[in-house]
Homo-oligomer: A and B are copies of this chain.
């Protein structure tokens, strides 16, 4: 067809406003430019798009048809631009409640200090809403995840509140909180392996299960029990003196935190964020 898109844009604006002047203002051009563009279109199509009376333009039949299509076409494109440009400006992290509340959100201040212009939104739990263009950070089995997607491998240990540990350990029946993952692909936490590493004789233990590590950790912080959980998740509490490992040997779990298709994340900001997160996790 050989018509210029800019001419179409100019025409569309003129049609919408019913005025070259107003269209020019919208597009930050001179009315002359709009006039030239419309004439260019008209001559290429060899038909009039506007009826010109003095100080008044009015769409012709063909002009109406084209203006409508151009408006819809440009709108379609603008909406997509709007949508994806959000992904360019804002980071939307989707992860587990435990990782979000215990690691990500507390550390976010540091990220914001380094990159104050980048907005970060963390959504956690099951909420699928607005998954589009979000950056997923998942918890899974190391062997079922591509090596380049892994952010950190998880070691587990048993932790307890320092003030409560002596009492909890001296007790005949140890109470240890475990996590029973909702995800059936994840095997149960290797508490037996940890016990074998830390006790000669397997003590009498009462296990309590929750479906999120967060809950067991909070129980442990409150001194109600010990918790067998991720070193990554407990780290903020250990550093804050609220939890301490009770044994001397942590165990490797085969779990990891990872970002599926990590290399495919297309926004500069997402890449920046992943880089920052990885540094945070290995620290």
Contacts and interface: CB of A to CB of B under 8 A. Distances in A.
Contact of A73 (B77, B88, B264): B77
Given A47-B88, A81-B1, A84-B45, A266 B60 contact: yes
Band of interface residues on A: 35 or more
B87 A62 contact: yes
Given A266-B48, A267-B47, A70 B61 contact: no
A267 B46 contact: yes
A245 interface: no
A85 interface: yes
A83 B65 contact: yes
A72 B76 contact: yes
B45 A66 contact: no
A173 interface: no
Nearest to A46: B88
A49 to B, nearest CB: 7
Contacts of A264: 51, 60-61
Contacts of A87: 47, 62
A36 B269 CA distance: 22
Given A5-B5, A77-B8, A77-B70, A49 B266 contact: yes
Contact of A267 (B48, B83, B85): B48
A78 interface: yes
Interface string A216-236: 000000000000000000000
A69 interface: yes
Contact of A65 (B9, B63, B84): B84
Interface string A79-95: 11111110111000000
Interface string A32-71: 0000000000000111110100000000111101101110
Interface string A251-271: 000000000000110111110
Contact of A62 (B1, B8, B45, B84): B84
A197 interface: no
A69 B75 CA distance: 9
Contact of A81 (B3, B48, B81, B83): B3
A84 B66 contact: yes
25 contacts: A1-B81, A1-B82, A3-B81, A45-B81, A45-B85, A46-B268, A46-B269, A47-B84, A47-B268, A47-B270, A48-B266, A49-B266, A60-B264, A60-B266, A61-B133, A61-B266, A62-B87, A65-B80, A65-B84, A69-B80, A69-B81, A70-B77, A72-B73, A73-B74, A74-B77
Interface of A: 1, 3, 5-6, 8-9, 45-49, 51, 60-63, 65-66, 68-70, 72-85, 87-89, 133, 263-264, 266-270
